[in-house]
Amino acid sequence: MNFYQLTEYQKIKTKFWNGFLSDLNSDYFEALIESDDWVYLDHTDAISFYWFQQYKNFFEILEVTDETSDEKSKNLSENEEILFDVWQSGPFAKDFLKFSNRSSVKEASYKCLELFERQLVAFFRLHIAQDLKTVPETYRADFEIGDVVNGKETKINHNPIKLEFNFNLLNNDAKKEAQHIKRLNTALKKLSEYVPASFERLKLFTSHIIPINDRGIVSYSSQELPGYSVINLYHRDDMDLLDDLLHENGHHHLNYYLNTQELIIEEEEQAYYSPWRKSMRPVRGIYHAFFTFYWALDLFQQLSQPKLLEKFSKPEQDKILLRFCEEHHMLYYCIPDLVLMKAEGLILPTGYQLIEHMMDNLKKQQVSITQFEKKLSPKALAKINDLKKVLKNQHEIRSSIVN
């Protein structure tokens, strides 16, 4: 995959030449530009793309900081509010709070930018150029790319474990390594056998799997780090693992398009009900959810076919049927909102084309969904009926607003 957009890449390179660097690290990058090492960033791998996006963020924050007034006032200016939001939602939140208690927002931002750039230099040297053998004390471990922290020591993982079908495991728990390998290889083999089309997409968009041990997290990934999926392998069962791998791959699949073209208009107004979050969400939230949860529907729809369903235990069969019905009703609920977004110009033609066949499939399923509901256990059927009541109520609220 070609992660780079040449014009954006050249803009960043030009900014290096024009001296958009702090005094702290300018010598390193000035030397880098003039050396052959710069070709590292011509590689179209995910780590280089991730670093490129981080430095792009750095310059955007720098420009806002430069444009922020030095004058103090009782109320925050628009730029100061932007800087507060940016720093408080990232890894330098504690630093920004400490600096802003002692100085102006602008000065605090400049100090955080120095920390940010120091991190970016260390990241570049550790993960891309790989010319730094000792991890600096100031380096902040990046779990999403496999950095391992043991006490105060940070280890950089450049040697992922090869799984079946050429996937990579960035393991951070030596005691669970054999178990992780076995579970993941089993899951990958099942996906290749049971849902071959989805598995081909998985091979195309997912490259690395990072286990996480946190009851509060199911799985996650980042638009800025294509192909890297953080998956909970500790508190989720084997059926969940199939679902989680395809769900995060759905994010990578969608982000591939989002990184190269505009699919939707990013409005912040939370005007649409999300059946998954059980709360109001903006256009982006609904569009992302629809695209990514569709692959769970596709998985459970295929597994619910008699010849495949009989391969699973009774509890697994019940879960497959329940999950299929759940995802169908939640996704089907979103169709009118997506159609409305398109009509209002919030989903662009290219973005709508990506989900149009999904909506067509849901409409076809709607005719036969009651046949699957008849196969549910009484407990599962009660859960589906409760869901349908909630969605019906939300539909009535939506209709009253639209009308």
From start to end of 71-129, where are the E strands? none
Residue 144 is predicted with a pLDDT of 87
Whole-angstrom distance, CA of residue 96 vs CA of residue 103? 10
Same domain, 250 and 291: yes
Same domain, 129 and 188: no
pLDDT band at 69 (very low <50, low <70, confident <90, very high): confident
pLDDT in tens, 198-241: 999 999 999 999 999 999 999 999 988 999 999 999 999 999 99
Using a pLDDT cut of 70, give the percent of the chain over it: 89
pLDDT in tens, 7-62: 454 555 555 444 444 554 556 665 655 555 555 555 457 888 888 788 888 888 98
Same domain, 220 and 368: yes
Whole-angstrom distance, CA of residue 99 vs CA of residue 88? 12
Same domain, 182 and 121: no
Write down the residue that tokens 């105060």 correspond to. Answer: 152
Residue 131 is predicted with a pLDDT of 78
User: What is the extent of the structural domain holding 35?
Assistant: 6-140
202 near 191, Cβ under 8 Å? yes
Residue 14 is predicted with a pLDDT of 54
Beta-bridge partner residues of 229 = 209
Same domain, 180 and 120: no
Whole-angstrom distance, CA of residue 225 vs CA of residue 145? 8
Same domain, 121 and 257: no
Residue 41: count of CB within 10 angstroms of its CB? 20
SS3 percent helix, strand, coil of the chain, rounded to 5, is 65, 10, 30
pLDDT in tens, 272-290: 999 999 999 999 999 999 9
Q: What is the DSSP letter of 218?
A: -
Write down the residue that tokens 């490129």 correspond to. Answer: 52
pLDDT band at 389 (very low <50, low <70, confident <90, very high): very high
Q: Which of 140, 171, 204 is the last residue of a domain?
A: 140
Overall domain count for the chain: 2
Whole-angstrom distance, CA of residue 65 vs CA of residue 62? 5
pLDDT in tens, 103-138: 899 999 999 998 998 898 888 888 887 877 788 888
Q: Is residue 394 part of a domain?
A: yes
pLDDT exceeds cutoff 90 at 153? no
Whole-angstrom distance, CA of residue 159 vs CA of residue 42? 22
- Helices (H) then strands (E): counts for the chain: 15, 9
Higher pLDDT, 40 or 375: 375
Same domain, 245 and 134: no
pLDDT exceeds cutoff 70 at 146? yes
Using a pLDDT cut of 90, give the percent of the chain over it: 62
Beta-bridge partner residues of 208 = 168, 228
pLDDT exceeds cutoff 70 at 253? yes
Q: Is residue 150 part of a domain?
A: no
Q: Is residue 186 part of a domain?
A: yes
- Mean pLDDT computed over every residue of the chain: 88
**Under DSSP, is residue 167 helix (H, G, I), strand (E, B) or coil?**
coil
Kindly state the tokens that stand for 338. 């997506």
Q: Is residue 149 part of a domain?
A: no
Residue 7 is predicted with a pLDDT of 47
**Under DSSP, is residue 181 helix (H, G, I), strand (E, B) or coil?**
helix
Q: Is residue 37 part of a domain?
A: yes
Whole-angstrom distance, CA of residue 258 vs CA of residue 260? 5
Same domain, 124 and 176: no
Residue 132 is predicted with a pLDDT of 79
> pTM (2 decimals)?
0.87
Residue 5 is predicted with a pLDDT of 46
Residue 132: count of CB within 10 angstroms of its CB? 16
Q: What is the DSSP letter of 158?
A: -
pLDDT in tens, 328-339: 999 999 999 999
pLDDT band at 6 (very low <50, low <70, confident <90, very high): very low
Q: Is residue 29 part of a domain?
A: yes
pLDDT exceeds cutoff 80 at 248? yes
**Under DSSP, is residue 226 helix (H, G, I), strand (E, B) or coil?**
strand
Same domain, 90 and 188: no
Q: What HEC string does 269-317 produce?
A: CCCEEECCCCEEECHHHHHHHHHHHHHHHHHHHHHCCHHHHCCCCHHHH
Same domain, 303 and 381: yes
Q: Is residue 345 part of a domain?
A: yes
189 near 149, Cβ under 8 Å? no
